[in-house]
Structure 1
Amino acid sequence: MQRVDHEQRRRDIAEAVWRLLEQGGLEAATVRAVVAETGLSSGSIRYFFADQASLHAFAMSALADRVGERIRRAARNPDPRERATDMVAELMPLREDTERELRVWSAFVARSATSPRLAEHLTSQAHAIRALLHKVTSDLVGLGLLPPRTDVDAHTAHLHAVVDGLTFQLLHTPELITPDQARAVLRRALLTDQK
């Protein structure tokens, strides 16, 4: 008897939701469509997810997990300036894979206005991003790459706004800024005292 790899199956399901969402928006990412996309039975899908809201919430969380893993890898960079830039850059659509993820994430954000479960995940993810940016800023101060008088909370809020603004431009008005320019703006925002 073949053993089912539940984690791999869940990843496959999340990927199917993302593909369907890219093709037709969140409305297209139904349980029935995921069944057709994955070739799994509806019973297999329902084994993991009680309803469509659970399926969507999982797919949104799986995106965050994927980004988190890349941030952890970027945190191994021994150069502190590059490490900080690389970690935060994973939050932005600077490559084809991250652009895809952020387009999918944007659809979840739009749906969160009418989905309490997605809204809860969105709030949790926003707090996690803010905590990451706060840690990166604190580390830069601790390493002497930002002045000791830096207001870490204010710098973190500024950095969060820069990341969100650059992400919006890269996704919706890419003619205004290239990924290389966005990375340079991010690096300046990270390493420049805002006072």
Structure 2
Amino acid sequence: MSNRIDATARRQELAEAVWRIIVRDGLSAVSVRAVAAEAGLATGSVRHFFPSQAELVSFAMTALADTVTQRVRAAARTPDASDRVLAMLVELLPVTDRTLAEFTAYLDFMERSRTDASLRPVARESVRAVRELVVTVLADLRALGLLRPEVDVPAESVRLHAFVDGLTLQLVVAPELVSRDEARGALERWLRELQGVAATDGGRA
């Protein structure tokens, strides 16, 4: 059991080394040797887990998606339904230094997936997972009677998904256009409007 735990921790450590390199130098700078240096390990130690650069990058992308999923699940334990939905969707935005680094790496991964067939399944699954989450939170609001009757959940999920992606892109690429507080406030206002209630002070920009 301890060996399995150590292996899991080491894989996560290597994934985070990949993310740091991407944020600092771009995805093109990622190699087994560079990741080993970043993590303070021998190249052979990295190759023990990931024999090729492609496997390393693919794992790092999957680990990034898993990290976001874990935070969404933690947010799902928020007691109040309206607060819970907001907390879950905020985890899809780069509103902390940690998540900014993660989503910066994520955008690089997505760009690489256009030309790297090995990354396309992971990229598509990550997009599908976000859409599924948006559909789920809207359906939960509907089931709880907290969604305006005229809201079409499938159609609204497309709009809300695009809205979240747009905020993410702005926060990563052009943060001077929207602050983290403004992005969070905009998302809260969107959700409050879907529920037919006014935004609270907590959603002010």
TM-score by length of 2: 0.88
Of residues 30-39 and 80-89 in structure 1, the stretch that sits farther from structure 2 once superposed is: 30-39
Which structure 2 residues correspond to residues 26-65 of structure 1 after superposition, within 5 A? Answer: 26-65=27-66
Work out the percentage of aligned pairs sharing the same amino acid: 46
How far 1:96 moved relative to its partner? Answer: 1.3
Match of 2:145 in 1: 144
Letter in 1 for 2:20: R
Q: Where does the alignment leave 5 or more consecutive residues of structure 1 unmatched?
A: none
Alpha-carbon RMSD across the aligned residues, in angstroms, is: 1.8
How far 1:122 moved relative to its partner? Answer: 0.8
How far 1:57 moved relative to its partner? Answer: 0.7
For residues 65-119 of structure 1, what are the alpha-carbon distances to aligned partners after superposition, in whole Å with 9 as ceiling and x for unaligned?
Answer: 1111111111111111111001001001111111111111111111111111222
Match of 1:130 in 2: 131
Match of 2:173 in 1: 172
Match of 2:202 in 1: none
Q: For the Cα contact (< 8 Å) 2:20–2:101, is it kept in 1?
A: no
Higher relative contact order (CA 8 A, sep 6+): 1
Q: For the Cα contact (< 8 Å) 1:162–1:189, is it kept in 2?
A: no
1:73 equivalenced with 2:74 (yes/no) = yes
Of residues 63-72 and 141-150 in structure 1, the stretch that sits farther from structure 2 once superposed is: 141-150
Letter in 2 for 1:49: F
Q: Distance in 1 between matches of 2:156 and 2:145?
A: 15
Q: Distance in 2 between matches of 1:3 and 1:93?
A: 33
Q: Distance in 1 between matches of 2:22 and 2:178?
A: 26
Of residues 140-149 and 129-138 in structure 1, the stretch that sits farther from structure 2 once superposed is: 140-149
TM-score by length of 1: 0.92
Q: For the Cα contact (< 8 Å) 1:145–1:191, is it kept in 2?
A: no
Of residues 35-44 and 50-59 in structure 1, the stretch that sits farther from structure 2 once superposed is: 35-44
* Counterpart secondary structure, 2:92: coil
For residues 159-183 of structure 1, what are the alpha-carbon distances to aligned partners after superposition, in whole Å with 9 as ceiling and x for unaligned?
Answer: 0011011111112222222212211
Match of 2:16 in 1: 15
Q: Distance in 2 between matches of 1:193 and 1:37?
A: 45
Q: For the Cα contact (< 8 Å) 1:67–1:91, is it kept in 2?
A: yes
Q: Distance in 1 between matches of 2:139 and 2:3?
A: 46
Match of 1:181 in 2: 182
Q: Distance in 2 between matches of 1:3 and 1:134?
A: 39
Aligned length: 193
Q: Distance in 1 between matches of 2:192 and 2:118?
A: 36
Q: For the Cα contact (< 8 Å) 1:63–1:101, is it kept in 2?
A: yes
Q: Where does the alignment leave 5 or more consecutive residues of structure 2 unmatched?
A: 196-205
